[in-house]
Amino acid sequence: MADAGTIEAAVSQEEVDKAKEEIEAADPGGEDEAKTEFEVTAEEVSILRAELACEFPDDYKYLSDAYIKSVASKPYSKDPTVRRPLDYTQEKLQNVMEWRAQVRSSRVNRVSVSTKRVRTASQLRSFVQAGAPEMEELVVLANGPANSKEATEDPDRYAKAKALVTSLNNGSLYWHGFTKEGKPILWIRCGRKPWYPNVEAEVNALILIADAGIKCMPEGVTDFVVLSDSNSPPPPVPSFMINVLKALVKGYPDRLNVLLSAPVGSIIQFVMNLLLPLMPGRLADKFLLKDLEQSTPILKEWLMHGEDDIPTFFGGKSNHDELYPDEYYSKNQGEGCLKFDYFGMIERLKTSAKEWEEAQKK
């Protein structure tokens, strides 16, 4: 296994400085230190949404009113005694939407332009705004036969779809269950991560999974929890780690409630040493590194069904492998190369969300 010195040599100071500059540009004020929330009126939420609707008419509904209100309610980083100015909140929300547009635009540039369907700048903007192929559509494509009309007419797009589901198939990233506060839980199985990942495909898989979980959030919930089984992780790929952090800051500000990682070994410590200096403000405080014994009472307190929801890889009874097995034991979901039960995951998450909502009525 590569040692920390070898890994560290794989990322230059220039790359680190560039990443830090990009992250600071995306969030110049950083995540605010105070946990206070200020009042935001319905009229102010309407104003913010109207601005987004004008700029992003086909994607503005991606951000819920609850999320817009949550972002607007936070203290201002330059003066934590007051609420974020509406202009600042608008800029923060606009940055999210622009990042999403850029992600789609890059897909158009790399994939669809080769089909000669997009020839001019105006056509490109129109195509992006109309929704360049969403990642979920790529999952559907890869789940179908390789000789389908869609696959053979656009081999570049099909290749991208296969790369995406290959990153899903190892079952290293999935949503399962909720916390007692109704926050969906994203589980990371580090031991299943590949040693030599396709960085772009891995980041795309993260975006796909993150968006799926956000769509399944109960009404009024705006953030999620990440629980990482950090046993036997592969040597980290710095470029992937940095890209994940940039995606979190640019595309999902104020979405992460907390990340708990257990157990803590030298590789996880290296990852944190790499990422912590790049993290804005309070984001670093949302990362908890614990050993397995320390994590048990925390999980019992957090998980919706308490001790019954603690998975076997954290010393509990809940066997996640029955639903999300190692790729070797997985079967194809359709006629294509998708093995990960992506659509089943979404249905189970929706069912759990309804269960949590019903419990709140009692």
Task: For 256-267, write each residue's pLDDT tens digit.
Answer: 999 999 998 888
Task: For 137-192, write each residue's pLDDT tens digit.
Answer: 999 999 999 999 999 999 999 999 999 999 999 999 999 999 999 999 999 999 99
Between 235 and 40, name the one with better pLDDT.
Answer: 40
Domains of the chain, by residue range, sit at: 31-131, 163-360
| Confidence band, pLDDT 50/70/90 cuts, at residue 272 | confident
Residue 112's pLDDT is: 40
Enter the tokens of residue 219. 């009404």
pTM (two decimals): 0.85
Residue 124's pLDDT is: 31
Tell me: pLDDT of 126 over 80. Answer: no
Class of domain 163-360: alpha beta
Q: What residues have CB less than 8 Å from 206, skipping those under 6 apart?
A: 173, 244, 247
| Confidence band, pLDDT 50/70/90 cuts, at residue 116 | very low
Task: For 302-350, write each residue's pLDDT tens digit.
Answer: 999 999 999 999 999 999 999 999 999 999 999 999 999 999 999 999 9
Q: SS3 of 57, please?
A: coil
Numbers of helices and strands, H then E, in the chain: 14, 7
φ/ψ bin of 195: left (φ > 0), alpha (ψ from -120 to 50), beta (otherwise):
alpha
Nearest 10 degrees: Cα torsion 218, 89, 202, 112: 100
